[in-house]
Amino acid sequence: MTVQRRTIVYDGPGGPFEGVFAWDDADSAPRPGILVIPNVLGQKEADNRKAEDLAALGYAALACDVFGQGRRAQPGPDMARYMNELNADRALLRDRLAASLATLKGQGEVDAGKTAAVGFCFGGKCVLDMARAGLDTLGGVSFHGVYDRPDYASVDPIAMKLLVCHGWDDPLGPPEVTVALAQELTAARADWQLHAYGHAGHAFTDESRRDSTMPGVAYEPRADRRSWQAMRDFLKELFA
């Protein structure tokens, strides 16, 4: 088994975009494809490693780019600059996600009829927006996502199956906001599940946050481990 990666530059609204695709070359047959959607900082090595981890599980994965080639943020006071542009134009975000999904499906290693998306922080919001927009993929996993609704109408019913992995102490998703998401998904007749992790906040999968002093924003190893296992179980069922 050898996990390989290649850089892909692809088109989309406001592009070009640059992502990294990972797959195991031990098997030449097409396999389910996973779109990996980054957090507030945009496409980076941590996302590429997540794609490789998914490839090691037997999938092919594209760590995608929704900000644009060369547009990457760094931790600090200005780290939300590119994210905020897309928060202000959710239709543009939707269309960039659609372009990323099409790129994933276009890879020869991917079974285009079996795809899913996983996202972290802002990427978790993106997964939910893909479901709301009715993009053609079977399911999605949101890790410590953001739950505010876009300014366009959601599809009804929502066909994407959803797993929401949530840190109960997340200041971006307090109980009333989390319950509102559950109500939204129920009203849209989605097949959804919510896993909430006690004593975990925002960014609980982000190992760069091990020494975080920001209240409610820190790595939490138990939640990280448990949510990854929940994702594995979800994907196994999704693609059965």
Burial 61-88 (b: 16+ CB within 10 A, else e): bbbbbbbbeebebeeeeeeeebbeebee
Amino acid 213: pLDDT: 84
H-run or E-run covering 131? helix 122-133
Amino acid 96: pLDDT: 98
CB 107 within 8 A of CB 35: no
Block means of pLDDT (10 residues each) for the chain, 240 residues, are: 94 97 95 98 97 98 98 91 97 98 98 98 98 98 98 97 98 97 98 98 95 90 98 98
**Domains of the chain in sequence order:** 3-238 (3.40.50.1820)
pTM above 0.95, yes or no: yes
**β-strand partners of 5:** 22
